[in-house]
Amino acid sequence: MALNIVIMAAGKGTRMNSRHPKVLHKLAGRSLLQRVLDTAATLQAERIITVTGHGADEVEAGVTAPRLRFVRQVLQLGTGHAVQQAVPALPDEGTTLILNGDVPLIQAATLRTLVQACAGRHLALLTIVLPDPTGYGRIVRDGQAVRAVVEHKDASPAQRAIAEVYTGVMAAPTALLKRWLANLKNDNVQGEYYLTDVVALAVADGAPITATAAANETEVLGINSPLQLAQLERRFQRQLAETLMHAGVRLADPARFDVRGELSAGRDVEIDVNCVFEGRVQLGDNVRVGANCCIRNASIAADVLIQPFTHIDGEALGVKVGAGSSIGPFARLRPGADLAQDVHIGNFVEVKNSTLARGAKANHLAYLGDASVGERVNYGAGSITANYDGANKHRTVIGADVHVGSNCVLVAPVTIGAGATIGAGSTVTQNAPAGELTLVRAKQVTIEGWKRPTKKK
C-alpha cells in the first residue's frame, strides 16, 4: 500500500526568539527537520511532502531527503490548514503519515507500527500518557472508543484532567483524510483549522479509529524554546552515553559528554569529562581521551593517548592517528593529518595535510603543513614548514631519521635527505643532503672588550 508522508514545518517558532526558522535549529549537530526527514526516509514512502511557511527559502535550502518536495503554506491558519496545502500533492489512495518538523527524535519503528495500525483504513493516532498534559490535545474516549481530540484551550475542566494526549503524529487513509480536511472549520478558541478535528469527522463517518502508544516520552517531545531544545539535547546525549557505557566505554561523567554525529569505540576506551565528538569518529581499543578534547571526522587506532585540550578536526579529508601514538596536551590535528604508529605530537603543535611515518616526533610548539615526514624523525621545538608562498602551497619532504633542530624554517618546496641534521635556527631554502649537518645561520662571534653604553648625565 502506497505510503506518503507529510511533515508540518511552516510555524514560526516565536518562542525560539531567533532570526532562523525553528526547524533549522540543531539537536546533536543535525537540524530538527533534517532528523525527522532522515527517519522518514527509512520508511520507503512514495513522497515526503514538507509544508514550509515561515523562513521557507531558508528551510527548503537547509534540508535534503530522497523523494522530498515542498509545498508552501503562506498564512499559518492551523495544522489542518497546513495539511490541506499538501492535498494536491497526495494521490487518492494509500496511507498518509503526518509528522511534525519540530519533534526530532520520533523513532522509525514507532512510525512503522502506526502505519500498520492504519492498514489503509483506520485513522491511527499516536498517543502518550503524560504526567502533565498541559497544552496538548486530549484523547476523549467513550468507553474504549476514541471519540475526539480536544485542544487544551478548548477543553472543559473534566477533559483537561485526561492524561492521554495526542502526540501530533497520525496515519490516515488518504482518500478519507482528503474528505475530512475539506470539512474542517475554524470555530474554536484559536480560530484555527485544527488537524485534530479530523477525529470527530472520522467518528461521524463511522470510520475506525485506533490509538497507538508511543514507545517513550523522549520520541514525542516537541521543541518550542531554547530551554526545551537544551533539555531534549541532554536526554538524547544521556541515551547515547548509556548505549556506549553498556558497550563497555568508560565515561568519567555521562552528563559531561557530547556526540554530534557518530562515535564508535572499541574495548576499554576511556573518555574524560567535557569531550565533544562530531561527524564520524572511530576510537580503537584502549584509546584514552583526556578532558576537554574536541574530535571531528577522525579515526584513532588502538592504544592511542589523546591528552587534555587536544583539538582534532578532519573536516572533509579526515584525520588518522596510528596505533600507540600520543597526542597533546594542547595539540591541533587538521584535515589530512595522517599519522602512523607510535607518533608523538606534543603541546602547541599543529599538523595539516601531512603524513608522519612510524615513530616520528614533534613535541613542542611546531607546525607541519603539506609535509611528508619519515620514520623516527625528530622535529624540534619551534620549527615550521613555510608551505605557502602567498599564492600556492608547496610540499616539504623530510627523510627518515632526520633531526630538525629548534626554531628552524623549512621553506617549501624543499627536501631534507634521510639522516640529515638541520642546525637550530636555520632557514632552509635549498635541499639538504642526506646524512650531513646543514646549518643556515650566521657564525657566532665574540667582540672582546665591548662595553655596554651607559646613560649620559
Chain residues binding ligand UD1 by CB under 6 A are 8-11, 51, 53, 73, 76-79, 81-82, 100-102, 136-137, 149, 151, 165-168, 194-196, 222
Which of 20, 364, 394, 403 is catalytic? The answer is: 364
Q: Grid coordinates standing for 306?
A: 589523546
Nearest distance in Å: CB 232, ligand UD1: 13
Residue 48 interacting partner from ligand UD1, Mg ion, none (CB closer than 5 to 8 Å by kind) = none
Task: Report how far residue 18's alpha carbon sits from residue 1's, in angstroms, rounded to the nearest whole number.
Answer: 41
Residue 11 interacting partner from ligand UD1, Mg ion, none (CB closer than 5 to 8 Å by kind) = ligand UD1
Residue 219 interacting partner from ligand UD1, Mg ion, none (CB closer than 5 to 8 Å by kind) = none
Chain centroid to CA 115: 28
In the complex with Mg ion, which residue's Cβ is closer, 103 or 207?
Answer: 103
Residue 115 has, within 13 A of its CA and on its CB side, a CA count of 21
Is 382 in a helix, a strand, or coil? coil
Selection from 273, 229, 312, 313 nearest residue 23 by Cα: 229
In the complex with ligand UD1, which residue's Cβ is closer, 104 or 417?
Answer: 104
In the complex with ligand UD1, which residue's Cβ is closer, 137 or 328?
Answer: 137
In the complex with Mg ion, which residue's Cβ is closer, 139 or 412?
Answer: 139
Nearest distance in Å: CB 225, ligand UD1: 12
Nearest distance in Å: CB 320, Mg ion: 44
Nearest distance in Å: CB 412, ligand UD1: 53
Alpha helices in 27-106 (DSSP H): 32-40, 56-62, 79-86
* Extended strands (E) in 241-383: 250-251, 257-265, 270-271, 275-283, 288-289, 294-300, 305-306, 311-313, 319-321, 326-327, 332-333, 338-339, 344-352, 355-356, 361-369, 371-373, 378-379
Can you give the binding site for Mg ion, defined by CB under 5 A?
A: 222
Residue 196 interacting partner from ligand UD1, Mg ion, none (CB closer than 5 to 8 Å by kind) = ligand UD1
In the complex with Mg ion, which residue's Cβ is closer, 66 or 135?
Answer: 135
Please identify the residue of the shown chain whose CB is closest to the bound Mg ion.
Answer: 222
276 by Cβ neighbours in 10 Å (0-12 / 13-18 / 19+) ranks as middle
Q: Grid coordinates standing for 319?
A: 584525520
What lies within 8 Å, CB to CB, of 47 at 6+ separation is 4, 5, 67, 68, 69, 89, 90
Nearest distance in Å: CB 47, Mg ion: 24
Selection from 130, 194, 215, 124 nearest residue 164 by Cα: 130
Helix axes of 174-182 and 198-205: crossing angle, nearest 10 degrees: 110
Residue 367 interacting partner from Mg ion, ligand UD1, none (CB closer than 5 to 8 Å by kind) = none
In the complex with ligand UD1, which residue's Cβ is closer, 53 or 374?
Answer: 53
Task: Report how far residue 236's alpha carbon sits from residue 259's, in angstroms, rounded to the nearest whole number.
Answer: 9
Nearest distance in Å: CB 19, ligand UD1: 17
Q: Is 246 a catalytic residue?
A: no
- Determine the Cα angle at 371 with ends 366 and 374, to 5°: 95
Q: Grid coordinates standing for 35?
A: 532528523
Residue 374 interacting partner from ligand UD1, Mg ion, none (CB closer than 5 to 8 Å by kind) = none
In the complex with ligand UD1, which residue's Cβ is closer, 76 or 431?
Answer: 76
Residue 82 interacting partner from ligand UD1, Mg ion, none (CB closer than 5 to 8 Å by kind) = ligand UD1
Nearest distance in Å: CB 100, Mg ion: 7
Catalytically active residues, by annotation: 364
